[in-house]
Amino acid sequence: MASVRQVNIAIIGAGGVGKCFLSQLEQLAKRRPEPKLALVYISTSKKAIYNKDYASIGLDSAIASLASASEAPLAPSALADYLNGSSSKAIIVDNTSSQDVADAYPLFLSRGISVVTPNKKAFSGSYKLWQDIFQASAKSGARVFHESSVGAGLPVISTLKDLVETGDEVTKIEGVFSGTMSFLFNSFAPTSGSGGKWSAEVKKAKELGYTEPDPRDDLNGLDVARKLTILARLAGLEVESPTSFPVQSLIPKELESVASGDEFLEKLPAFDAQMEETKAGAEKEGKVVRFVGSIDVASKQVKVGLEKFDRSHPIAALKGSDNIISFYTKRYGSNPLIIQGAGAGGEVTAMGVTSDLLKVLSQLS
């Protein structure tokens, strides 16, 4: 286990997660002087900073420097050339949610550059891209980790990998995978009390910043479907894409094509009766309704949508915007292994990225 003196880091993306990651990286570099973590590239979609001699960009001033930068970002192959020009090992941290960046992972990995990222696109896109990524990694030895692509910093991916790699048989995975959906249903159909009107809860969630700018981007279920795709593939299922299994959209058909999120919110109250009926149906059985994803490994069934749960069920008892993920396996028997907590937010998402970075560092040599 020889020691590595310097590792070059290239960060793509400097939004909410990117800024939190940068701050965690700064703290990390202070606590762990060896190996030296040199930030040699950082870019937004429009600008980039890097130095021909691989001098480290100040971690505390990178965001300010980006604002006044004039260089355009490097194309993937040019970025790989640049990083390969140094004798130090390199790690790319992709803090975007860009499909274009994700498509370049096989290139980066095949050139010996490790990748850590919260970006779901690479692992929930086409199955071909998934295979290309892991084949490139296996061939070159470069690592790829994406803990924050499901449940942010919660140890979801690492736990599923451990279960599979130690030979346990995962039979079922079930949970609430969206902080937005969690918040909406915990308020709309609480385990005690009657909850608000559906359209009012959606409006409130939007005002609190818990939804995407257009709430339909949460309500269509695609974000959850992407996370389920990733977990199902790790559990051994060859899921073709996040649209290749049943996903229930909570957008009324009539509002799918209205022009804006604001118009959607304005017209949503007219459809409250539908959701109210679903809630009442569950209540009649003493249950509450939740928006969940599930993977039945044996029957290869993946689905996303509304389900009813007993009020005492851990999924029903969830609080705030927490996620919960239950792994049912042969070894764990009838009581699943459960992981629960905040599954969204800049700091906890960046934490998953930072711990992935630490994992790569521990495996570099």
Q: Which residues are catalytic?
A: 227
Rg (CA), the chain: 22
Asked if 6 interacts with its own copies (CB under 8 A), we say no
Is residue 86 involved in binding its own copies (CB under 8 A)? no
Binding residue for its own copies, selected from 5, 70, 87, 167, defined by CB under 8 A: 167
Using an 8 Å Cβ cutoff, are 17 and 349 in contact? yes
Cβ atoms of residues 153 and 312 within 8 Å? no
Identify which of residues 166 and 299 has a Cβ nearer to its own copies in the complex.
Answer: 166
C-alpha neighbours within 13 Å on the C-beta side of residue 146: 25
- Contact between residue 236 and residue 164 where contact means Cβ atoms under 8 Å apart: yes
96 is known to lie in a ligand binding site: yes
Q: What are phi and psi of 38, to 5 degrees?
A: -100, 120
Return all residues near 258 (Cβ < 8 A) that are at least 6 apart: 264, 267
Among 16, 196, 269, 314, binds its own copies (CB under 8 A): 314
Question: What's the closest the beta carbon of residue 159 comes to its own copies, in angstroms?
Answer: 5
- Taken as a whole, the chain contains a residue count of 365
By the rule CB under 8 A, 87 interacts with its own copies? no
Judged by CB under 8 A, the stretch of 61-69, 275-283, 284-292, 311-319 that binds its own copies is 311-319
Q: Binding pattern to its own copies, positions 336-355, x when CB under 8 A?
A: xxxxxxx--x-xx--x--xx
Per CB under 8 A, which region of 38-46, 253-261, 281-289, 326-334 contacts its own copies?
326-334
- Residue at token pair 């459809």: 271
Record the tokens describing residue 60, joined without a space: 């505390």
7 in a known ligand binding site: no
To the question of whether residue 120 is assigned a binding role by annotation, the answer is yes
Site for its own copies in 178-197 (CB under 8 A): 191
Q: Considering the complex, state which of residue 190 and residue 269 has its C-beta at the smaller distance from its own copies.
A: 190
Contacts 24+ apart (CB under 8 A), 125-131: 125/99, 125/241, 126/240, 126/241, 127/233, 127/238, 127/239, 127/240, 127/241, 129/102, 129/103, 129/105, 130/233
Q: Can you give the binding site for its own copies, defined by CB under 8 A?
A: 1-3, 24, 27-28, 31, 141-142, 153-155, 158-159, 162-163, 165-168, 191, 312, 314, 317, 319-320, 322, 331-342, 345, 347-348, 351, 354-355, 358, 362-365
Annotated binding site for NADP(+): 13-18
